[in-house]
Each structure stands twice: as structure tokens, then as C-alpha cells.
């Protein structure tokens, strides 16, 4: 049985013992995750739009175009949007997901002793890459499909498969069915407690937001990542001893 206080204490100690490297790897995680793990919502209300002094002037420009010109512009815009979406998806599958596994490998190793940055090449060496890409893609696909049903089942599945990156960090050649089943078993009875652990960092993310996420980069994100590695370490040990 684990407690939030115990995991946070161990995570903080592991992070502080290897401060600079943990900050670097946590920053990489922020980038590949597309934002801060729990605090990005705090920034979602910022309005980055600009004010047009005369909105009718834009309308007048388009009113002067022929229908074929309007359709052409629309097709170009849709093409760029589609290309951007496909590029983002491919980057996520073939680059960001393997990097996430490598980052989790770093923090898991760091929970035992200060880890080195060479852990970041973990997913890309010794023939591991193909299976890491496959398992992470299928994990994300299953979570996405469950999310299409309703939001809540998707969230539940994301917690159920939360430990897959760590499992790959220990066994990069594991079959995807085994990886998903192992994560499911490890998270059995732990999903709600893990959710509470996650929201216990909300105060830290608020402080990070009011410092323009400087605190998030230098403290909160590596602290959270190190604590998450401690969670895996505890669940893994409990599963092995079961």
C-alpha cells in the first residue's frame, strides 16, 4: 500500500539528487506531450486573438472575390490544415512516443540512482524502436476509440494503460497485448488513487502558471515525473510480489 506523501517525498528526493538532468528530461516530456501535464488548462483561457479595427474590411475583400476564387482559397486552407494534422500525427507516432518511453526510462532509472542523459536514446537503439512505436500506437488508439464512446471511458482507459511506457522501458520487446494487460493488472484498484495523486499537484500548477511556467519547468514537471516513476516502482513491486 502506498501513500501520496510517501511517493512525493521519494520523487522529490530523486529529482533533487539529479536536478539538472531531471529538468532537461522533464522539459522534453513537456514538449512531446504538447504542454504541461496538469497545468496546461490554466493557460487555455489566455486569448491570443487580435482585434481588427474594421471587421467589415475583411468581409469586403472576400465579397469582391469570385466563387471559384473563394473555393480555391478554402481548398488551400483545408489542405494546409490537413497536412498539419497528418504531420502532427506522424511525429507523435514515430518520434514523440518513443521519446516519451525514453524519458520514462530515465525517471525510472533515476528513482534508484542518478541517471544519465544517454537514457534518452533508449527507444532508438538495439532494435527496440519498431516494437516501442507499435505498442505505444496501439495503446493510444485503444484510448482514443474508448474516448469516442464517451469521455469518461476514455479517461478510465488512459489510467488503465498508464504504465505501458514504463513497461516498455523495462521490456521494449514485449507483445502489445501483454503490455496492455500488465498495465491493466497493475492499475487494478489503483486508478482512483492515481487520479487523486494527479490532482494533488493542482496547487503547484497554479503557482507555475503565475510564474509563466518558469516554476513548472524548473520544479513542478520534474517533481511530477519523478513521483510518477515512484508510483510505477511501487505498483511493479506489488505486482511482482503478488
Q: DSSP assignment of 85-133, as one string?
A: HHHHHHHIIIIIHHHHHHHHHHHHHHTTS---GGGGGGGGSTT-HHHHH
* pTM assigned to the model: 0.85
DSSP, collapsed to helix, strand or coil, labels residue 29 as helix
Task: Report which of 199, 229, 234, 231 is spatially closest to residue 29, judged by C-alpha positions.
Answer: 229
Q: How do residues 164-216 score in pLDDT, each as one tens digit?
A: 999 999 999 999 999 999 999 999 999 999 999 999 999 999 999 999 999 99
For helices 191-199 and 221-241, the axis angle rounded to 10 degrees is 160
pLDDT for res 38: 52
Between the two ends of the chain, the Cα-to-Cα distance in Å is: 12
Among 68-72, 109-113, 179-183, the range scoring the smallest mean pLDDT is 68-72
Backbone angles phi, psi at 34, to 5 degrees: 80, 15
Q: Map out the domains of the chain as residue ranges.
A: 4-42+54-241
pLDDT at position 59 over 70: no
* pLDDT at residue 41, as a whole number: 32
Burial group, residue 56, by CB count within 10 angstroms (0-12, 13-18, 19+): exposed
Higher pLDDT, 150 or 119: 119
- For the cut 90, the answer to whether the pLDDT of residue 45 exceeds it is no
Amino acid at each position: 500500500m502506498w501513500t501520496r506523501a510517501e511517493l512525493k517525498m521519494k520523487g522529490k528526493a530523486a529529482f533533487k539528487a539529479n536536478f539538472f538532468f531531471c529538468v532537461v528530461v522533464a522539459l522534453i516530456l513537456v514538449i512531446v506531450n504538447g504542454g504541461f501535464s496538469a497545468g496546461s488548462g490554466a493557460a487555455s483561457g489566455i486569448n491570443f486573438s487580435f482585434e481588427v479595427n474594421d471587421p467589415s474590411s475583411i468581409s469586403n475583400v472576400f465579397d469582391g472575390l469570385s466563387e471559384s476564387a473563394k473555393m480555391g482559397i478554402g481548398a488551400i486552407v483545408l489542405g494546409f490544415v490537413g497536412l498539419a494534422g497528418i504531420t502532427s500525427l506522424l511525429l507523435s507516432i514515430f518520434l514523440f512516443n518513443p521519446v516519451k518511453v525514453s524519458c520514462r526510462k530515465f525517471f525510472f532509472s533515476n528513482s534508484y540512482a542518478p541517471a544519465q542523459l544517454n537514457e534518452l536514446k533508449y527507444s532508438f537503439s538495439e532494435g527496440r524502436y519498431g516494437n516501442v512505436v507499435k505498442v505505444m500506437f496501439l495503446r493510444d488508439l485503444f484510448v482514443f476509440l474508448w474516448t469516442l464512446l464517451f469521455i469518461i471511458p476514455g479517461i478510465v482507459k488512459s489510467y488503465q494503460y498508464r504504465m505501458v511506457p514504463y513497461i516498455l522501458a523495462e521490456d521494449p520487446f514485449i507483445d502489445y497485448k501483454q503490455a496492455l494487460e500488465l498495465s491493466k493488472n497493475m492499475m487494478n484498484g489503483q486508478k482512483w488513487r492515481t487520479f487523486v495523486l494527479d490532482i494533488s499537484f493542482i496547487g503547484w500548477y497554479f503557482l507555475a502558471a503565475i510564474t509563466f511556467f518558469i516554476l513548472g519547468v524548473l520544479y513542478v514537471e520534474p517533481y511530477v515525473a519523478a513521483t510518477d516513476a515512484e508510483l510505477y516502482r511501487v505498483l511493479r513491486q506489488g505486482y511482482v510480489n503478488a
